[in-house]
Structures are given as structure tokens and as C-alpha cells.
Structure 1
Amino acid sequence: MTHQNDSSRSGVDTAAAPLVEAKRITRRDAQRGQVLLHPTDFALHAGERVVLTGPSGSGKSVFLRALALLDPLDGGVLHWHGQPIAHARVPRYRRHIAYVRQRPALIDGTVEDNLRYPFSLAVYRGATFDVARVRALFDAAGRGSGFLARESAELSGGEAQIVALVRVLQLDPEALLLDEPTASLDPESARAVETLIAQWFERERAARATVWVSHDPAQAQRVGERHITMRAGMLDESAPAQTAMGALR
């Protein structure tokens, strides 16, 4: 079980309803019956930048996917802006609480095809593709003119991750759940991803939040202000930040 930290240290208004609140959520391996995520409480407020650390296999990805409602919960409940999430609202919830995986999944075609794809889905009906905005995002990541016309199959791992991230950022989510998005990238691409996320966050800091899984102590210091740790499917934020950082080493 987790313990609430004093988020006021980073200027976060904890009196407001959290963007996302997990109440005793659990996950089990359906085949083996193994507990993957023990009953967990967690609240993510607007304005927070959370870093999640812990050993490999400790359940960090399980936790993030549970928060994103990508996998069914075996117990507990998630609230969004103080309200439980009805089944019919799950697609809309996923639009605003966006999961970014370590290895991006792109469709065949160009970079622009990949960016336009979400607007073909029912949940984004009424939204329109803004080519000027995505060009500005790519410029910020050091990818200039001509990048939209590149074939997705020809992109490097770093370029593919930047495309996947821009595809999410253009949709204006409230929170990003970042599952080691730079783990397999070269340093230049990793910093480009960090820059994109930082600019997105600062643009509307009072209304946005991030949860970032990282094994890199230096990166964790850059991208997070609140540090929590996962060990054997149990979330803990009672330890001081220095102890949490030690879990990365």
C-alpha cells in the first residue's frame, strides 16, 4: 500500500480531486494465479511529475497498464476527476490518460499517415489534424522539413519513438504514462523525447501530469519531482527520494 506524499512541495494543489486515483487496484496472472500487483492506492494530481523506479520484473509496467485501463483490473477501482470510470467512458479516458510504450507500434505508410490515423477513430470524432502543430513538435525534437513524408519502415528506433510521442501529444492528453520511453534510444534521441514531454507539460502545467518509468538515475532527476518505488508488485512512496533513486542503481 502506498503513502501519500506532500505534493505541496512542488506546488501541487492536493485539495482538488486527482486526475486519476487508484483505490486498492490489483492484477493477477490469469493462467498461474500469481499476484502481479498487490492492492494499491495511488493518486496523480495535475501539476505532478512522478518517477517510478524499481527492479526489472517488479510490476512497473503492470501498474502503468492498469492505470491506463489497458488490462482488466482484478480488484479495486479507478477514479477519473473524482468519478468512477464506467465501461462506456473507457475509450475517452484512454484518450486523456495516455500510455506511451517503450517500443512504439506504427502503421505502414508515412509519418504523416501515422499522425492522421487517430483522427479516423470514433473517439476523436470532431478533432482535426493540425499539420502546423505537428511540424512545430518535430522542429522541437530536431526533425525538420521532409520528416512527415518519411516512410515509417525506414525510421530508426529513436525516430519511431518521437513519431509515436507526437501522435499522442497532438491529441492534448491530460496525463502521460511513460513506460521507459527512452530505454532503447541513443542519448540524442532520448533528450529529444525528454524535451518534447517537458514542453508539453510546461505549456499547461496546472492541468497536466506525468508518470515516468526510468532506470536512469540522471534522467529520473531531470524528469520527476515525486519518486515512488515498485518492488514485487507493491508500490511504496514512503521512502525518501534518495532511497528511491538507489533502486535505479
Structure 2
Amino acid sequence: MPHRRILLKLSGEALLGDAPCGIDPAVLNRIAAEVAEVLAAGTQIALVIGGGNIFRGAGLAGAGMDRVTADQMGMLATVMNALAMQDALERIEVPTRVMSALKINQVCEDYIRRRAVAHLDAGRVAIFAAGIGSPFFTTDSAASLRAIEIGADLLIKATKVDGIYSADPVTHPDAVLYPRLTYDQALRENLKVMDATAIVLCRDNQVPLRVMNIYEPGALVRAAAGEDIGSLVESEPAESEPKE
């Protein structure tokens, strides 16, 4: 495997399947099986999972709730998703640890960078929950930060589309796919790859980002194996012409 250690950023919505909210067990189990396959192939893997399938802090904040309270509730939703993924992995005998940026010692460990690295080196999957533990930061920013802290050599963002497009392909059928681009280009063209904080963190710390479709069976394993799927974002200049 070309990558020693990767971090997978998984949105909460990716766990929905066809349900309007909550977690689809079939989707959860399929993703867990792919994570197990990546680990068995020799690549250490950590996860950051969003909470949008359960609760969106920004949504309630927009409706008048105190933003800090709303974001704290959103962080707790990510813990719920992390525990669900841990259960799915451990049912297929993959050792897993959930580490939270909020202190919830009765259900998971506190996030400590050295301990997280030790878990990964011991062959365990590490799931980082509760964002960075502070409001006003997205789980995209948390994924970028954790990838840097643990020394991941690739950050994979799992989405519902095949990569990064010039516009939302759902609402813009003529949108074109960018197979490769730079972080500066993503910022300049406001391509909505991740929020700006997450993009700048990756750019300034030379962490490549692969964006791919998690609903495509086997895509995670292929991306971890170095296959050129989805879109690759790097700091150095890259071929950035859109593909028709």
C-alpha cells in the first residue's frame, strides 16, 4: 500500500442511506467492512465523522438558538456516530478506539495525540469525535487538524459525488469534474471542497486531499491503494483543467 497512514473524513449524511435521518445499518456495515479491508492491507486508518444525519448545529443557530449551544449539540451527535461505527467495526473483530475532544470518559477516551498515534501503531482504528471541542469549527476543520497531528500522508473526504466539480452537479448538470487541482485554486474559485480553514490547514502543512464517492462500493479501498479516483487536491502546482 502506498500510504502508511490515512484519515477518512466521513459526513454524517453518508450514514443515512435512503433514510431521512439517523443511521442505515447496511451503509454503516458496508463502510466498516471497507475500513477493515484498508487496515488488513497494511494501512493505518483514522476517521472523523460528522453529525449531520442526527443534528446540524448551524441549522438551529440560524433559527435563533445560541450558536455555541447549537455547536455543542452537534459535537455530541458526532460522538453518537463514532460509537455506532466503533460497534460496527468491533462486530467484525476490528479493534477500535473512539477519542473525543469533549470529556465523556464513560463512553470514550479523551483525545490525546500521542495516545491516538499509539493506537494506530498498535493496529487499531482511531475514530476522532466531537470536532476539535470548540464551537465555530466544522468537522472538516477537525479532519484537517487531526490528519496533521497524527502525521497522515493522505486525507480522504468521502462525499455523495464522484469528486470536485465546478458547481453542484445535482443542480448544475453541465458542471465539470476537476481530477486534479491545487488548494489555492479551490480557494480562489470557491469550489466548496471543504471550508476555508480546513483547506488552508492542509495547504500549509502539505497534506494531500482525495475527494471521492463513498457510495461507490470499493472506492475507499481503491483510494487507499493509490488509485487515481475522484479528485486530488495538492499544494504544489498540478494539472487543473476540468474534465468534460
- Could you state the TM-score of these two structures normalised by the residue count of structure 1? 0.31
Bigger RCO (CA 8 Å, 6+ sep): 1
Bigger Cα Rg: 1
What TM-score, normalized to structure 2?
A: 0.32
